[in-house]
Amino acid sequence: MDKAGGGRMPNFIRRTPEGEDRDRQICSDCGYVAYENPKIIVGSVVVEEGRILLCRRAIEPRHGFWTLPAGYMELGETTEEGARREAWEEARARLELDGILAIYSLAQIGQVQIIYRAHLAEPGIAAGPESLEVRFFTWEDIPWNEIAFPSVHWALKAWAEGSPGVAVNPAEDSRGIAGL
Amino acid sequence: MDKAGGGRMPNFIRRTPEGEDRDRQICSDCGYVAYENPKIIVGSVVVEEGRILLCRRAIEPRHGFWTLPAGYMELGETTEEGARREAWEEARARLELDGILAIYSLAQIGQVQIIYRAHLAEPGIAAGPESLEVRFFTWEDIPWNEIAFPSVHWALKAWAEGSPGVAVNPAEDSRGIAGL
């Protein structure tokens, strides 16, 4: 994270800034308040003829495990643009999006995941620099024991259920919020 | 933003960190890379007997204009918890959420807005510290010329249309992404 700086790492302390109601990370060297907000992950369940696109990770965490094409949304793009960019970067796939499949809050790690339904806008996939390989799997062939993250399981299951509406965290992970 | 520090403001420059593909804000004093990601706004269209809850802003921007109860999602909460917290802070309203109404990407200002349908879980509303007043409006009585932000118009219209599924940016603001 500090590769580019070559200098000191910031010396953060937690303190409540004046006029606020909660602690923030504040650099005790320069006074910078690092507002930490949840980060958005955008990704897609890409389906062609009933088969689902997965990418085997060439990076940590979970190197060698299978995941959906997904990653951090960047400034200056829409959620849809981000989902399509990630599919290109990780699987050289050009997507057409078919609406929102799921929104997951991972409060413990400060993530909100927005997952789209999608299909290929043009033929062809190939491993991008962050993938070891990319493949379409039938449901039965999905390597269930080598899935990178719980939310990949959730999204695949939400897709298979085919319910209308937006899927959210499964009940056992929902922080007890009923009715959603 | 720097109230609490009392010291120097960080001296950021834009540069591409090693191993990355785009510029980031880097503090030239201490080397800290300030990853800027889109921020999430969570809010609700709260409806009771066909009337819609609006809050008149006691803060800038758009002081005195009407908005939905909504604000920045915080670390450590889910999107649902954030939407309910904001309704409490701004309108002293305890909400029950009824699913996702809309997701808007405001790429130019680095925001993603997640807007829920909601109703009161218990009776009573009152202006919180960031509101001058809070009120339920019939559709006809909504002060259309005193609405704070375009996305408030969008969300109200999406609610009135009552379509199933999740609303997204209106076509003229969609950055040309067809099919969504």
Could you write out the three-class secondary structure of A111-172?
EEEEEEEEEECCCCCCCCCCEEEEEEECHHHCCHHHECCHHHHHHHHHHHHCCCCCECCCHH
Q: Sign of the CA dihedral B156, B157, B160, B161?
A: negative
Kindly determine whether residue A29 and residue B7, on different chains, have CB atoms separated by under 8 Å.
yes
Q: Do B5 and A31 touch (CB under 8 A)?
A: yes
| Minimum Cα–Cα distance from B17: chain A residue | A4
Is the pLDDT score of A176 beyond 60?
A: no
Secondary structure (3-state) at A105: strand
Mean pLDDT of chain A: 88
* pLDDT at residue A7 in the model: 41
* Residues of chain A contacting residue B79, judged by C-beta atoms under 8 Å apart: 103, 105, 112
Q: Which residues does chain B have within 8 Å of residue A169's beta carbon, measured at their own beta carbons?
A: 78
Q: Are B37 and A40 in contact (CB under 8 A)?
A: yes
Work out the minimum CA distance from A3 to partner chain B, whole angstroms. Answer: 6
Choose among A11, A73, A105: nearest Cβ to B38. Answer: A73
Return the number of CB contacts < 8 Å for A and B.
Answer: 188
Band of pLDDT at residue B75, cut at 50, 70 and 90: very high
Nearest CB to A114; choose among B32, B96, B103: B103
Nearest to B40 by CA among B77, B89, B90, B3: B77
Q: What is the pTM of this model?
A: 0.83
> How many angstroms separate the CA atoms of A52 and B24, rounded?
34
Q: Tens of pLDDT along B79-120?
A: 999 999 999 999 999 999 999 999 999 999 999 999 999 999
Q: How confident is the model at residue B21 (pLDDT cuts 50, 70, 90)?
A: confident
Model confidence pLDDT, tens digit, residues A85-141? 999 999 999 999 999 999 999 999 999 999 999 999 999 999 999 999 999 999 999
DSSP state of B167: B
Q: Which of A105, A117, A168 to mutate to test binding with chain B, by most B CBs within 10 Å of its CB?
A: A105
In eight-state DSSP terms, residue A77 is: S
Q: How far is B45 from chain A (nearest CA, A)?
A: 16
Minimal C-alpha gap between A141 and chain B (Å): 30
Q: Is the pLDDT of residue B177 over 70?
A: no
pLDDT range class, residue A179, cuts 50, 70, 90? very low
Question: Which among A18, A30, A112 has CB closest to B29?
Answer: A30
C-alpha distances out from residue B35 to A72, B23, B29, Å? 11, 10, 16
Q: How far is CA B114 from CA A26, A36, A117, B106, in A?
A: 28, 18, 18, 11
Please indicate whether, in this complex, the C-beta atoms of B30 and A29 are within 8 angstroms of each other.
yes
Q: Would you call B104 exposed, middle or buried from its count of C-beta atoms within 10 A (0-12, 13-18, 19+)?
A: buried
Mean pLDDT of chain B, nearest integer: 88
Q: Show Cβ contacts of residue A66 under 8 Å, excluding neighbours closer than 6 positions.
A: A54, A55, A56, A57, A142, A143, A146, A147, A148, A152
The DSSP bridge partners found for residue B46 are B118
Q: Please name the member of A6, A9, A107 whose beta carbon is closest to the beta carbon of B77.
A: A107
Q: Tell me what percent of the residues of chain A surpass a pLDDT of 70.
A: 89
User: In this model, does residue B147 exceed pLDDT 90?
Assistant: yes
